[in-house]
Structure 1
Amino acid sequence: MATPVRRHRGGVMQDRPLAWARNPLTEFDQLVNEMSGLIESTVGGAAPAVAWTPLADVTESDEAFHVEIELPGVKSKDVDVEASGQELVVTGEIKEKERKGVLRRSTRRTGAFEYRLRLPGELDTDKIKAQMSDGVLSITVPKAEVAKPRHIEISETGQSGESSS
């Protein structure tokens, strides 16, 4: 059985299955946003503020974990980064702008946000660095000396069982 092919205008073909085109988490997020909009339009006020989780990438090197969190429009003074043991917690708030007139539609995230991450192994929490640039919070969490990988050299032994130098 052949996999379905999506055809676009101009005869360009896409060779991946249709199911790959959708991200269920994105669809769920859109559903929550639509439901919030329905509640707002029905009740006439804003829904109660619930902490949301910003998008992030986490990478690991031999020396540290690197976390990049998307926080567009957020000032560094409105963000709090805490580390306790193996857990990293980033909290803050995007304040809603004061507007004149009636806001008919809003899809921008506002309110309290929280990002929690539990990292494996021992961490050096005293040397954590964080910086904000172009709406991206970059956090470097160094690994403790005991947690870093160590290269072990293998020695050769001769046929008689003696080690050769």
Structure 2
Amino acid sequence: MESKGIIKRIRGQDGLIRNYLGDFKFEFEKKEFKSSKKDGLSEDDIKEILNNYLISNGWSTQVAWGKSQGIDIVAFKGKERWIIEVKGCGSRSAMRVNYFLAILGETLQRMSDPNAKYSIALPDMKQYRNLWERLPRLAKERTGISIIFVNEDKQIEEVK
């Protein structure tokens, strides 16, 4: 990582070597949709599918690819604004529960525009559907958050 400029290793006055972020730039580019049935959809797979869907339906988009900070997808159509947070499939059941809770928290923290539509997007998996069903109706109604399920055939279903 040091040779790539990602980190700098510097010896402190105490003699210990510490790691610091280096001077580097991430370059994100659109990648072709790649997923294997074995691994499930990654976060960027879902972003790519949603980005293509939104653009084909007249939305302009801003996508935070990779591990970029900020809102995952911001879409605009006329005066409409749609904020979408995305998570991938995760490798274990407990990880998926954490992803679900985290994505709800991230979305709530971004709810600053009373006129925007807010959604979370997850792979279409039984566990994520069950977690959404278990979320109280009152929470869904008061927040107005919808969920977008994306499957490996690039099909999208929004549920309120």
* Structure 2 length-normalised TM: 0.29
Question: Which protein is bigger by CA-based radius of gyration?
Answer: 1
Ranked by relative contact order (alpha carbons within 8 Å, sequence separation 6 or more), the top structure is: 1
The structure with the largest helix share of the pair is: 2
The structure with the largest strand share of the pair is: 1
* Structure 1 length-normalised TM: 0.29
